[in-house]
Amino acid sequence: MPELPEVETTRRGITPHIENNTITKVIVRNRSLRWPIPTGLNTKLKNRKILSVTRRAKYLLLKTDVGSLIIHLGMSGSLRISPMTTAVEKHDHFELQFKDGNCLRLRDPRRFGAVLWTKNDPQEHKLLINLGPEPLDKTFNADLLFNKSRKRKTSIKQFIMDAKIVVGVGNIYASESLFLAGIQPKRLAGKITKKHALDLTAAIKKILKQAIKQGGTTLKDFKSSDGKPGYFQQKLKVYDRKGEACATCKKPIKQITLGQRSTFYCTHCQK
């Protein structure tokens, strides 16, 4: 599943190709994604220029002077730039064609992705307005994490995965951040110390920045037509490493289930 680093990598990959580029045609081949792709997009967007490509949580926001497209990659979506003469594949559901002969194609085999439209500020859209801070933003800091966690009886892992607290900390990154911060994932959010909050916010930022940096090396994949999304294998310390030796203490990594999600940690290094 594309997580925040993949979405940010996608944003950086497609931006130079579509920003300030003029849309000549919008093609919807299959409207039934997570929500139906709205009708009339070709009329609205024909001859409009993409003014900016930004990201909020895992939503990509393509702004024009008449409104914004909000794109989510869902479980299996990917965006690619290719010449519009490139053969269309089975799961290429949505396409923006540009004046320079290239197109932006959304491929989504499982169709949990979304293409939405708003003529207003997309930050005010109902899907975005209640989201917590961006993890790499200064507004996400130890004080915020500590204060919001008081009296919370959920596990710290589920707490940091709650998009109302902070966006973009998916299952993999939650396990990895808690390992880096030395915090046991089952610990109650209300019981973390100020030191924990400081270590954990720093760990989340570090892990996500690393993943984005690694994604940058695969940017070239966004301009290919081989159908492979530009996602990347990351160097993980605990996630999906059940029974393998902890990188720090060599004891086996443990797997548990928390909030129905696989959770990996070291019983020795994480307290």
* Total residue length of the chain: 271
CA distances to 100, 138, 183, 197, 223 from 265, in Å: 49, 28, 9, 18, 37
Scanning 31-39, 44-52, 154-162, 261-269 for contacts with Zn ion by CB under 5 A, the matching segment is 261-269
Scanning 84-92, 106-114, 121-129, 259-267 for contacts with Zn ion by CB under 5 A, the matching segment is 259-267
Our CB check for Zn ion shows the closer of 107 and 237 to be 237
Our CB check for Zn ion shows the closer of 194 and 250 to be 250
Scanning 56-64, 128-136, 214-222, 242-250 for contacts with Zn ion by CB under 5 A, the matching segment is 242-250
Single-letter code of the amino acid located at 109:
P
* Catalytic-labelled residue, pool 3, 6, 95, 176: 3
DSSP, residue by residue, the chain: ---HHHHHHHHHHHHHHHTTPBEEEEEES--BSSSBPPTTHHHHHTTPBP-EEEEETTEEEEEETTEEEEEE-TTT-EEEEEETTSPPPTTEEEEEEETTSEEEEEE-TT---EEEEESS-GGGSTTTTT----TTSTTSSHHHHHHHHTT--SBHHHHHT-TTT-S---HHHHHHHHHHHT--TTSBGGG--HHHHHHHHHHHHHHHHHHHHHHHTTGGGGG-SS----------SSTT-TTSBPTTT-PBPEEEEETTEEEEE-TTT--
**Catalytic (active site) residue 6:** no
Which of 116, 180, 192, 266 touches Zn ion (CB under 5 A)? 266
Rounded Cα distance between 203 and 181, Å, is 6
Q: Any contact of residue 119 with Zn ion (CB under 5 A)? A: no
Our CB check for Zn ion shows the closer of 104 and 207 to be 207
Which of 221, 246, 254, 262 touches Zn ion (CB under 5 A)? 246
Our CB check for Zn ion shows the closer of 104 and 269 to be 269
Which of 75, 163, 245, 249 touches Zn ion (CB under 5 A)? 249
**Catalytic (active site) residue 122:** no
Which of 35, 46, 248, 259 touches Zn ion (CB under 5 A)? 248
* Catalytic-labelled residue, pool 12, 29, 209, 261: 261
**Catalytic (active site) residue 244:** no
Closest residue to Zn ion using C-beta atoms: 246
Q: Any contact of residue 268 with Zn ion (CB under 5 A)? A: yes
* Catalytic-labelled residue, pool 58, 107, 237, 254: 58
**Catalytic (active site) residue 3:** yes
* Catalytic-labelled residue, pool 2, 135, 185, 229: 2
Single-letter code of the amino acid located at 221:
D
Our CB check for Zn ion shows the closer of 37 and 266 to be 266
Q: What are the residue numbers of the active site? A: 2-3, 58, 261
Q: Which residues bind Zn ion (CB under 5 A)?
A: 246, 248-249, 266, 268-269
